[in-house]
Structure formats: structure tokens, C-alpha cells
């Protein structure tokens, strides 16, 4: 069973669209949750942490459902610059290693 | 923003050769990591390092791999006898003790021929 599973993608959306990504994780001991962004052939960069109450950062909203072991990311008003691969990442917490999903590719089209 | 620095950015080697990938973590960080990403695949954990010793390693990190912090700034990953399947992007990362944000270097693309 894969530890972190994500929508396969790719998602091709027009500028201004709203797009949602989903992720499920198998380790019920996971305590910390993140969305990372990765551009082609570049390093992953932290987009936002995900908190139990849900959190928002500008056009980005993340939600966590611990009971269902499910995480989501919503991007509103998509920009061309949002085109990237979005990685769902979990960890038991502290300084334990991050576990990455395979990522979902987003292409925002003019 | 502080940066994790990795060298070289690209490394081409022959199968069976040894390679050393170098990283300079952020100066006040205490935990260091190596991850790898095979083309088209997910980012995979290799090893974590704290207080001058390995704190955790994955199944991928077998006897051909080793890590070292030879001085106060560098953190290296050595692959003793490279195989074709070692071809991947290798990322170094560091984090403050208890910090949430992991800082990644820009990676070393290793190609084994």
C-alpha cells in the first residue's frame, strides 16, 4: 500500500480557474502535513503547512481530515505561474523524515 | 533567505566508480538529510544525520552509501560503486532543531553510464 497517494493528474486549467488536489495517507501516526511545490528539475519548496482546523494563504487553502486520513489543496484564481507539480507530504512529526507523494502536475493555460 | 548549497549541479560517472556529492547546510541547522528523486518518480528519503551520526536511514541506503560531516560546514554523500539505477537527482536538506520548514538544496543530477 502506497504511503501517500495523490490524484494522478495532469490538471490542465485556464487562468482564473479554481482547482483542487486531493491526497490520502496510510500512516495513522502522521502528525505533520504539508504541501510542497516542485518546478521541473528543481528542488521541492514548501508551499504551506496543513493544520487540523484548515488554513489559508492568499489564494491557497489547505484542509486536513484526520479521521479519513485525507488532505486537500484548493487553488483559487489560478495564475500561469502556478504551473508546477504539487507534492503532498506527511511525517510522524519532529525531525522524522518526510514522506512524499508522487505529486500532481498542474498546467495553467492562458 | 538562507540557502542550502549543493555541488556539483551535475555529475556524470561510469558504472562502478565512486562519487561524492557535497552539501553545505544552513549554518545554524542541526538536522541534515539526503533525499533522491529518480526521473518521473517521487522524492525518496535516504538518510538523516544529527549530532555527527546517522539518526535514521531507509532501505535504499545500503552498504554502498555513506555520509560524513568532515568539517563544521560540509555534509557529503558517498556512493562507493555506482550502479545504473543510482541515476537520479540527489537533494540535500537541513532543518533547525524542532523547526517545521525543511530547506532543500537545488540538487545534484547524477548520471551513471
Instruction: Give the pLDDT of residue A90.
Output: 94
What is the tens place of the pLDDT at every residue in A24-42? 999 998 989 999 999 998 9
Instruction: Give the pLDDT of residue B28.
Output: 86
Cβ partners under 8 Å of residue B72, min gap 6 = none
Mean pLDDT value of segment B71-80: 92
Nearest to A100 among B43, B56, B89 (CB): B43
Instruction: Give the pLDDT of residue B96.
Output: 84
Chain B contact set for A45 (CB, 8 A): 104
CA torsion, points B106, B111, B112, B113, in degrees to nearest 10?
-170
B58–A97 CB contact, under 8 Å: yes
A43–B95 CB contact, under 8 Å: no
Our CA-based measurement puts residue B38 at a distance from the nearest CA of chain A, in whole angstroms, of 11
- Among the listed residues A83, A91, A29, A9, the one whose alpha carbon sits nearest the alpha carbon of residue B35: A91
Amino acid at each position: 500500500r502506497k504511503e501517500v497517494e495523490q490524484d494522478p493528474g495532469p490538471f490542465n486549467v485556464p487562468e482564473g480557474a479554481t482547482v483542487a488536489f486531493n491526497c490520502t495517507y496510510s500512516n495513522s501516526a502522521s502528525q505533520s502535513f504539508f504541501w510542497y511545490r516542485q518546478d521541473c528539475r528543481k528542488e521541492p519548496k514548501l508551499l504551506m503547512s496543513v493544520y487540523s482546523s484548515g488554513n489559508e494563504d492568499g489564494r491557497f487553502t489547505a484542509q486536513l481530515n484526520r479521521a479519513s486520513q485525507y488532505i486537500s489543496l484548493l487553488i483559487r484564481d489560478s495564475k500561469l505561474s502556478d504551473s508546477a507539480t504539487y507534492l503532498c507530504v506527511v511525517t510522524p512529526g519532529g525531525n522524522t523524515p518526510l514522506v512524499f507523494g508522487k505529486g500532481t502536475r498542474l498546467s495553467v493555460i492562458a | 533567505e538562507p540557502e542550502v548549497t549543493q555541488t556539483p549541479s551535475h555529475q556524470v560517472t561510469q558504472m562502478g566508480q565512486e562519487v561524492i556529492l557535497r552539501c553545505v547546510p544552513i549554518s545554524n541547522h542541526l538536522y541534515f538529510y539526503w533525499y533522491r528523486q529518480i526521473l518521473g518518480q517521487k522524492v525518496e528519503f535516504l538518510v538523516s544525520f544529527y549530532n555527527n551520526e546517522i539518526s535514521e536511514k531507509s532501505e535504499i541506503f545500503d552498504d554502498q552509501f555513506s555520509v560524513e560531516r568532515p568539517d563544521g560546514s560540509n555534509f557529503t554523500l558517498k556512493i562507493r560503486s555506482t550502479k545504473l539505477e543510482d541515476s537520479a537527482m540527489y537533494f540535500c536538506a537541513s532543518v533547525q532543531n524542532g523547526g517545521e520548514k525543511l530547506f532543500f538544496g537545488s540538487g545534484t543530477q547524477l548520471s551513471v553510464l
